Amino acid sequence: MCGIFCLLRLAAAQLDGDKTVHEHLKRRGPNCSQDLTVTGTNPFYQCVFSAHVLHLRGLLTPQPVQDNAGNVLVWNGEVFGGLPVMPEENDTAVLSQRLSACNDPSEILSILSSVRGPWAFVYYQRARDYLWFGRDFFGRRSLLWKFDPEENGLTLTSVAAHTSGPAQIVWQEVPAVGVFRIDLKAVTDAGSVTFEVYPWAHAGNDLPSTCNEIKLESLPSSCTAVMNQTGLVLASPVCPLNTSIPKLLNETELHLNSHPSVEDLDQLLGCTGSKNEVNSLIDVLSEAVRRRVQCLPFGDQDNSPLINGQAAVAILFSGGIDSMILAALADRHIPTHQPIDLLNVAFKLQDPSTKVESTKKHKKHNNKPTDSTMTGANSQKSSSFDVPDRITGKAGLKELQDLNPERRWNFVEINVAQEELQKMRQERICHLVHPLDTVLDDSIGCAVWFAARGAGFIAEDNDQTCFTSSAKVILTGIGADEQLAGYSRHRVRFKTSGHEGLIQELAMELGRISSRNLGRDDRVIADHGKEARFPYLDEDVVSFLNALPVWEKADLSLPRGVGEKLLLRLAAKQLGLGPSAVLPKRAMQFGSRIAKLENSREKASDKCKRLLTG
Ligand SMILES: *[C@@H]1O[C@H](CO)[C@@H](O)[C@H](O)[C@H]1NC(C)=O
Ligand SMILES: *[C@@H]1O[C@H](CO)[C@@H](O)[C@H](O)[C@H]1NC(C)=O
Ligand SMILES: *[C@@H]1O[C@H](CO)[C@@H](O)[C@H](O)[C@H]1NC(C)=O
Ligand SMILES: *[C@@H]1O[C@H](CO)[C@@H](O)[C@H](O)[C@H]1NC(C)=O
Ligand SMILES: CC(=O)N[C@H]1CO[C@H](CO)[C@@H](O)[C@@H]1O
C-alpha cells in the first residue's frame, strides 16, 4: 500500500500541496517518502510527485520511480498476475520498465489492462508530455482529484482532507471508468484541462457512455473529458455477467424449516447437482486467497522467519459466512505455525441496564489488571460489548479452532466506546471517508477503521490479554454480497421483478462498488499503514461468478440464511464449516452496533453531520 500524490501546475504560480494531506499520505506509506518535481519548459508546466511507500516484501523500492528517459511513475498497486514479475523483482520497477518501452497509447493501455490486481497510478510520459492516471477495473485503490481554476492546478492523491474551502473546489473520487490522459502541451496552450478517457470495455461490446457519466457526476469543475475518437479502450479483465434467465426450473423438492440448518445445505448439495460449481468456486477463491496471503508472487513463505510470533495476515471478522470462508481458505495457505488475527469490532451498547450488568460481571470474573496500552474502553469485560457480530464471531472462532486446532487463531476483541469514537472520527476518520459523506459511510468508515487498527484484547480462560495486531495485510469479504445476492434488497428485487430484475441489480452493484465502498475502505484501512485485500474481487473469482447463471449463485425462493449466497454456503459446508454457513446476512453497521450508538432516526443515505469538522 502506498500513498501517491501528483500536483500539476499549469502556471508558474506558487502552489503547495496541502500539509494535512501529506500527513495523511505518510500514514499510508510510513517506510519511505520522497518527492520529485519535473518541469516542462515550452510551454511551462510542472508536476510535483510525492510517494509514500509501505514496505511489505522483498527490497524496498522507493518511489517516485524515474527512468533514464525522465518518465515518472507513482504506483499504488499489487501485481498479482498478468505481468511476469520474477521473485527478485519489484512490481513497481517492472512496471516502470515496461511503461518506459511504450510509445503509443495503445501499448500503455495494453500493459495496464494486463495487470491482475488492484492499482491506482500516475505516470508522466516525458517524450510526449502526457500525464496518465487512473484506477483498476473495480476501483480497489483510492484516487481523488481536485482542480483549482484560480491557481490553475490539478491535484491527484490517494487520500485528501476534509477542509472547508471554496464550494466549487472540492475533492472527488476519480471514477474507476478507465484510464485518463492529459496532453500537457495542449492544456497549457488552452489554459484549461481536458482529460482524454480510455474506458474499460468488454470485447465486442458497445462503448459505455463514459464521458456523459463523468461529466455529470464527478468531473472537477472547469475540466472537460473527451472520449478518444480512435476508439482505443482497455480490455476488461473479467468476462461479462451471464444474463440468462431460467427457462423452466424444476421446483427443488425441499422441506426446509424456517430456521435453516446445516443439514439443509447437505440436502441441497445432494439434489441440486451443483457440486461441480461448488468445488470450482472453492478452487478459484482458494487461489485468490493464496495470492493475497503469500509473498506474492514471490516464492513461499514457509521459510520466512516468524517475527516475534506475530501474524502476517488479519481478517476483518464478523463470524459471518464471507469472513469464515476467507479464514478457512487462509488456513490452507499460511503455514500452521503462524497465527492468523481475526479482527472483531464492537461498539458499546448504551442501555443503562447493560452497564450495571457489566460491572457485576467484571467483579465476578476478577479480571487481571491490564497493561498500559489498554484503553479505557477495552479494559471493561462486559456484556455491553456483546453485540451480534461479537457473538457470531466467538462461535466462528470455535468452528475455526475445530477446523485447525494446531493453529493459533487470535480473536481480537476490539471494543469502542462513544468518547473514543467521537475523538477519532474528528481527528482522523472524517478525513479518510471524505469525499463520501453519508450516514452509512460514517458508520462503515468508523467500524472498519477501528477494526483495522486491531487494538483490543484476546480473552482466554477468563483472562484478558492486551493485543494489537501487527499484520500488514488485511483481508476483507467485500464483494461477496454484491455478486451472490446477499443483500435484502436482492430479495425485494427478485420478488418484484424476478430473475431479470435480480440480474440488473447485480450488474449495477458491481458497477458501483468502487464509488460506494472500495475507495473509502482503502483510505480507511491504509491509514494504519496496512493494506486491504479483497479476494472476492479477484479477477478470476469475478469471471467465474460472472459466467455462472444467476440461479446457481442464489435461490431467493429459499429462506434467509440459505437462499442468498447459496453457492457460497454450499462451499462453506464443503470446506467443513458448521452453523456459520447458514447465518443470514447482517450489515456491519448493525452487527457492530455502531448504528445503535447514533441517532436511530437517520437514514443510511442521509448526509452525515458528524463527518463535518468544525
Ligand atoms: C515500516 O514502517 C512501520 C511503521 O513505522 C514499521 O513498523 C516497520 O518496521 C517498517 N518496516 C520496515 C521494513 O522498515
Ligand atoms: C486520440 O488518440 C490519438 C493517439 O494518441 C491522438 O492522436 C488523438 O488526437 C486523440 N483524439 C482526441 C480526440 O484527443
Ligand atoms: C427438469 O426435470 C426434467 C425431468 O427430470 C429434466 O429433463 C430437466 O433437465 C430439468 N430442468 C432443469 C432446468 O433442471
Ligand atoms: C450462462 O449460463 C447458461 C446456463 O448455465 C449457459 O448455458 C451459458 O453458456 C452461460 N453463458 C455464458 C456467456 O457464460
Ligand atoms: C528489478 C528491480 O528493479 N529491482 C529493484 C527493486 O528495488 C531495489 C531497491 O530500490 C533495487 O535495488 C532493485 O534494483
Q: What is the pLDDT of residues 91-136, one digit of tens each?
A: 899 999 999 999 899 999 999 999 999 999 999 999 999 999 999 9
Instruction: Confirm or reject: Cβ of 242 under 6 Å from ligand 4.
Output: yes
8, containing H or E segment? strand 2-9
Distance 285 CA to ligand 2 centre (A): 40
Give the pLDDT of residue 102: 94
Give the pLDDT of residue 150: 78
* Burial class (CB within 10 angstroms; exposed 0-12, middle 13-18, buried 19+) of 172: middle
Reported residue count of the chain is: 614
pTM here?
A: 0.88
Instruction: Confirm or reject: Cβ of 246 under 6 Å from ligand 4.
Output: no
Instruction: Confirm or reject: Cβ of 361 under 6 Å from ligand 1.
Output: no
**Grid coordinates in use for 122?**
500516475
Residue numbers of the chain with a pLDDT score lower than 70: 1, 11-17, 58, 164-168, 202-217, 248-259, 271-273, 295-308, 351-382, 599-600, 613-614
Give the pLDDT of residue 507: 92
Q: Which of 388, 362, 392, 390 is nearest to 464 (CA)?
A: 362
* Distance, CA of 12 to CA of 383 (rounded, Å): 61
Give the pLDDT of residue 170: 86
Instruction: Confirm or reject: Cβ of 561 under 6 Å from ligand 2.
Output: no
Q: Whose CA is nearest to atom 5 of ligand 1?
A: 30
Instruction: Confirm or reject: Cβ of 306 under 6 Å from ligand 3.
Output: no
456, containing H or E segment? strand 455-460
Q: Whose CA is nearest to atom 11 of ligand 2?
A: 228
Half-sphere exposure of 388 (CA within 13 A, CB side): 15
The boundaries of every CATH 3.60.20.10 domain in the chain are 2-227
Q: Which of 17, 499, 474, 562 is nearest to 244 (CA)?
A: 499
Strand-strand pairing, 153-157 and 172-173 = unpaired
* Distance, CA of 556 to CA of 18 (rounded, Å): 49
Give the pLDDT of residue 578: 87
Whether domain 264-299+309-612 has CATH 3.40.50.150:
no
Give the pLDDT of residue 575: 95
DSSP for residue 299 = S
Strand-strand pairing, 172-173 and 193-201 = unpaired
For residue 146, list its beta bridge partners. 155
Distance 292 CA to ligand 5 centre (A): 22
- Pocket probe mutation, ligand 4, options 236, 242, 245, 567, max atoms within 8 Å of Cβ: 242
> What fold characterizes domain 2-227?
Glutamine Phosphoribosylpyrophosphate, subunit 1, domain 1 (3.60.20)
The boundaries of every CATH 3.40.50.620 domain in the chain are 264-299+309-612
Q: Do the beta carbons of residue 139 and residue 514 sit within 8 Å?
A: yes
